Amino acid sequence: MPELPEVETTVRDLNFIKNLIIKKINLYRKDIRYPIPKKIIKISKNQKILKTYRIGKYIIINLDNLYSIVIHLGMSGRLKLLNRNQKLDKHDHVELLLSNNQKIIFNDPRRFGLIDILKTPFLKNSKYFLNQGIDPFDKMFNANYLYKRISNSQSNIKAIIMNQKIILGIGNIYASEILFDSKISPLKRGRRINKGEAIKLLRSIKKILLKAINNKGSTLRDYSRIYGTLGNYQNIFKVYNKEGDYILVNKMRGKIIRITQNGRSTFYCPLFQK
């Protein structure tokens, strides 16, 4: 599933569409995660794009009629940039025709993504963003906030940092990498995390996510940038998907193991993560 770094990379790649006009939207499949509202065709037609940004893992495209297109990539979704005359591929479900004779394509083999259109002033009150946590790069995301949300929790720390009601954008891949960087075991309960560990965890969250963004995200299966190029962060994973490998830290070799937590694979090194 595309996580914060992949969504941020996609948003940055889309910056060029600012001030372009959406000439038309074509819907080729309606049975993805939620039905795509037909009104998106009429509301978006001939509207100027004012801004693209993200809220957590959601891509937002603001239009000049005070509506916004909301996109979630789900498990396998991605956006592609094509010239107007290029043919569509299998699983290309939505087509945004732009005024520069290019088009943005929403491709989603597993169909867990979503596309919606909402009134911009009411975005934060929509079902997608109610009761959400804080973005890792928001000024409000600090050690006090993190420690407060962690310290009374009986959940394991991996589940806590993946909880979108606490922190936005962290998924399974980066949770393993973040916890290795902070030297915290994914099995450790939130209530057993002290303030010093919370500070280290905060630093690791920002560090790993920023490093992944700078490497254009991670390509494991479906994700690629809008131009078709791949992310690079998968080439520098420390523990994710490295079961059985050994890692050297301070001249000590630790073995990476895989466990299952909440139905998801977790990779970590018990020697270095306590």
**Catalytic: which of 110, 207, 211, 264?**
264
Q: Tens of pLDDT along the chain (274 residues)?
A: 799 999 999 999 999 999 999 999 999 987 788 899 999 999 999 999 999 999 999 999 999 999 999 999 999 999 999 999 999 999 999 999 999 999 999 999 999 999 999 999 999 999 999 999 999 999 999 999 999 999 999 999 999 999 999 999 999 999 999 999 999 999 999 999 999 999 999 999 999 999 999 999 999 988 999 999 999 999 999 999 999 999 998 889 999 999 999 999 999 999 999 9
Give the predicted TM-score (pTM) of the model.
0.96
- Residue 32: predicted pLDDT: 85
- pLDDT number for residue 34: 86
pLDDT digit string, tens, across residues 3-37: 999 999 999 999 999 999 999 999 998 778 889 99
pLDDT of residue 30: 75
CATH fold label, 143-268: Helicase, Ruva Protein; domain 3 (1.10.8)
pLDDT of residue 222: 86
**Active-site residue, selected from the candidate residues 2, 5, 136, 186:** 2
User: Between vectors from CA 37 to CA 127 and to CA 63, what angle results, nearest 5°?
Assistant: 80
What 102-108 contacts at long range (C-beta under 8 Å, 24+ apart), as own/partner pairs, is 104/14, 104/17, 104/79, 104/80, 104/226, 105/79, 105/80, 105/81, 106/71, 106/77, 106/79, 107/77, 107/78, 107/79, 107/80, 108/32, 108/73, 108/74, 108/76, 108/77, 108/78
Q: Is 2 a catalytic residue?
A: yes
Mean pLDDT across the chain: 96
Catalytic residue among 54, 57, 103, 242: 57
Whether 264 sits among the annotated catalytic residues: the reply is yes
**For the chain, how many helices (H) and strands (E)?**
6, 12
Going from N- to C-terminal start, the domains of the chain cover 4-125, 143-268
Which residues make beta-bridge pairs with 12?
A: none
Q: How far apart are CA 191 and CA 82, in angstroms?
A: 49
Clarify whether 270 is annotated catalytic. Answer: no
Could you tell me the two tokens for 43? Answer: 């509301």
Active site residue 54: no
One of 3.20.190.10, 3.40.50.150, 3.40.1800.10, 3.90.50.10 is the CATH number of 4-125, namely: 3.20.190.10
| Strand partners for 53 | 60
Catalytic residue among 3, 6, 177, 197: 3
DSSP state string for 179-208: HHHHT--TT-BGGG--HHHHHHHHHHHHHH
Q: How far apart are CA 201 and CA 179, in angstroms?
A: 7
| Both structure tokens of 80 | 């592609």
